Chain A
């Protein structure tokens, strides 16, 4: 259960430790890539609760989404169209949807557990 959190922690630590100076021009594309990565991660978490988790879909989605998001943003900049906004909106909307689903699922689980406990207590009494 704690392995993904451990992964996130290690990633954050390594990211801080690396301290690679990113040129200002690339910072924007990296931000878009982060957004895509977060979207993939939350999509993965959501799929766990929906009980249709697929590692292949998660990994391919993660890599293709991050790369394509950055690439599209870059392409948009070259074309003079703010394509990165499209990525921000698409990923942002999906991120919030996923978060909402996760929240609801967690709530369901919690409510279910409480009900079960209550029933147990009732039964014991």
Chain B
């Protein structure tokens, strides 16, 4: 390869003639760089041979067998950036299709708002937990997890906080929301305030119910454990994403006798939540919570859309497993056309 037709050529690759074929699995069938059975070499810009956009490059090929060798004609090509990564076209199609399914489900839910939702015990217990706090005259502690506002689980936690705050305002109980992220704190302040207004109790709202502690994992945990031991909240909510601090928080909460409701998509912390909390929302139940608590048709409709999406994935998994197994048994790569549709190409 060279930077000019007359410039000295540099060797960029050398390989035996029975290797580096374009074969199924390396590229999707809709974006193959060459025909099946052709050879290919992938060139990556490097310090030794930098490739710049808009610059022409010259390539020639040498075929050698024993002492005999043949040079090909020089081919010229100009480097240019791609506008679209065609290898990821399947990904885009699925996203668009899923968006369509979701919007259709929402439209269907608007027409027929009576969609059945299976019971989620953890969310049914929210009312009970708040009622218990009111009776005991103790505060409610609500944590939004370790993530920032760019994490979906944190957003879901803030949405549930809005619903919880409405009920708290209604019962006139005290709410405490310690934070690890200042932006999440600012968002939650707004949400809680609006919830008190929506519940018709703007006078009961206290600005310092949301407060920042520290962004450091265990300093935060120590501070929240301290709040649990000193103020003995009657109900603890752990929503959002958590790491090693989860057990330190929930075990301390359990020792104070509080009713504890957790909801997380941090699957690695589920065993701790399940063993120490009274109720645990597992994975997507956390995202479904806002629909469940508000029963709004639009939100409930998206749950239906999600279920259809999951059913499609399950179908693809079963079909893919069967076809891949059949392909191995029959010694054919004929099914790769279908299997490529579900692969993640870069």
A and B, one complex? Answer: no
Binding site for B on A (CB under 8 A): none
Binding site for A on B (CB under 8 A): none
